[in-house]
Amino acid sequence: METLILANIPSPPQGVWHIGPVPIRAYALCIITGIVVAAWLTQRRYRARGGDPDVVWDALILAIPAGIVGGRLYHVITDHAKYFGPGKDPLQVFNVAAGGLGIWGAIALGTLAVWLLLRAKGIPLGPFADAAAPGIVLAQGIGRLGNWFNQELYGRPTDVPWALDIYYRVDSNGNFAPLSGHSTGEIVASVHPTFLYELLWNVAVCVFLLWADRRFTLGHGRVFALYVAGYTLGRFVIELMRSDEATLILGLRVNTWVSAFLFVIAVVAFLRLPRGRESSTVAHGT
């Protein structure tokens, strides 16, 4: 009998290209693509709820910079040892191009910015958040492709058929450069592709939210609560598979604790929020 052997998943040979002096980063392109897809889906859903789709663009103008600041703050706080202490350069806190954005901080500060905007406009947050939730988690999935190009956030070594091969990368001078360099072809490790696990999970959560919203006519922020619960459930499991350096609390990664805490909060919120959906007049803030 013949045995089917699947080849390992290769990492991209590089994650940065240059047009003259301008670096084109695959990670940034993935994030931008996710934002565009999320904006398109949110506009369609918010219009269907009776909202003004132009509000989505107003929200993006605030949510994007707030998300970057929030994501960076979360990363610096939870991985402070990388930036502060003997031999460390605190100014690297501002070097976002070197990587380091925490999704929890990005969503928290981005949501706060959008809430303040909608409050100033007299528009309730619930219908907007429910419209945006599927797009947000889909954008997170698309953004995970950026981790693939950066060869980061992967899991423990494994010999499963779908293992991810991590290549040794160097710059033009032959120096080790895992983010900006080019692959030498040397495989340094074969690991669990946790970026792929989370990508697939996020797409599944998006599809589930679209189905549940239509099937049960959810409203009052319950779709958003369901998104948080669904995402954190998958993130909790995936965090247990990762082996990269991280801050630990009682032997568990800090993101594992955050996932568990937010999952409980989201489930409680989903159960306590009003059932049914707000009318279109409510979505307009009237």
Cβ atoms 47, 53 nearer than 8 A: yes
- Which amino acid is located at 58 in the chain? D
Cβ atoms 13, 183 nearer than 8 A: yes
* Residue 286, pLDDT score: 44
Q: What is the pLDDT of residues 139-163, one digit of tens each?
A: 999 999 999 999 988 999 999 999 9
State both tokens at 202.
């996020």
- Measured in whole angstroms, the distance separating CA 164 from the mean position of its chain's CA atoms is 20
* Residue 97, pLDDT score: 67
**Residues of the chain scoring pLDDT < 50:** 1-5, 280-286
Cβ atoms 83, 130 nearer than 8 A: no
**Which of 77, 164, 69, 134 has the alpha carbon at shortest distance from 107?**
69
Whole-model pTM above 0.95?
no
Rounded Cα gap, residues 126 and 256, in angstroms: 27
